[in-house]
Amino acid sequence: MRTPPLTSRLGAEALGTFWLVFGGCGSAVFAAKFLAPNVVAGQSIQLGIGFLGVALAFGLTVMTMAYAVGHVSGAHFNPAVTLGVAVAKRFPWRDVPAYVVAQVLGGLLAGLALWGVARGVSGFKVTGNLAANGYGEHSPGGYTLVAVLVAEAILTAFFLYIILGATDERAPVGFAPIAIGLGLTLIHLISIPISNTSVNPARSTAVAFFNGNGAPGQLWAFWVAPLVGAAIAGATYHLVTGIDRRDEDITGMVDPEDLRPAT
């Protein structure tokens, strides 16, 4: 299969990251808690989707866009994923910077869209309410910096293990996006109370500056921990599983010769 042009792949990455942020963070901002008046009882009814709904929303964004554009770009939508598969020697290092830039830009556009929509209702306070990640006083459950760094690194590493395994040629064909989407759902079910769940530096960057309230100053943690976790997974997957698919692109789109160092 011929590799799509880099411009097409970058467009797919930006589009997919936009959908991940807008769909995932949007569900947290607009739908996690929604009170509707109960005219009969004179009280409000909670119709929001809660943590479970938000976790599913993030998983569904990745799953749907993996099916939509995965055949174009590999459906990374996440700088940590791009780094991890490059460390695993299943993605060319030369394309890593461009992928990361496209992902961050796509995420920032989604953050801008969320900010604009959130301002469309009277009384909604945007500052501090755009689903930013945080630790300490900005953690939903008050978790410390160390706890957040450990959780984010571990969860990102397992996300990469899932991706590397689900895209193995011996795995059931066509089901990788489902496994990856459900993996991200599980990750959110574990860690929304801990850090509001990042495992994706582009997702964290996308809303941090629009959210304010200390999020920009804590953003570094949600770059460092996911990147470290992804790098560990990329470097150890073949050692842990005994499955060595290094020098093969994660999507099968790139000629293995392109992944080998020039002589």
pLDDT per residue rounded down to tens, the chain (263 residues): 578 999 999 999 999 999 999 999 999 999 998 877 765 666 777 789 999 999 999 999 999 999 999 999 999 999 999 999 999 999 999 999 999 999 999 999 999 999 999 999 988 899 999 999 999 999 999 999 999 999 999 999 999 999 999 998 888 888 999 999 999 999 999 999 999 999 999 999 999 999 999 999 999 999 999 999 999 999 999 898 887 766 656 654 444 444 444 43
Other beta carbons less than 10 A from residue 118's beta carbon: 17
Query: What's the confidence (pLDDT) of residue 169?
Result: 80
Query: What's the confidence (pLDDT) of residue 156?
Result: 98
Alpha carbon distances (Å) from 167 to 17, 74, 163: 20, 10, 6
Query: What's the confidence (pLDDT) of residue 2?
Result: 77
What pTM did the predictor assign? 0.90
Query: What's the confidence (pLDDT) of residue 249?
Result: 60
Comparing CA positions, the residue from 252, 209, 204 lying closest to residue 103 is 204
Burial of 174 (0-12, 13-18, 19+ CB in 10 A): exposed
Query: What's the confidence (pLDDT) of residue 242?
Result: 81
The whole-angstrom separation of Cα 128 and Cα 126 is: 6
Query: What's the confidence (pLDDT) of residue 251?
Result: 52
Token pair of 205 as six digits: 């960057």
Query: What's the confidence (pLDDT) of residue 166?
Result: 94
Give the chain's domains with CATH numbers: 6-29+55-259 (1.20.1080.10)
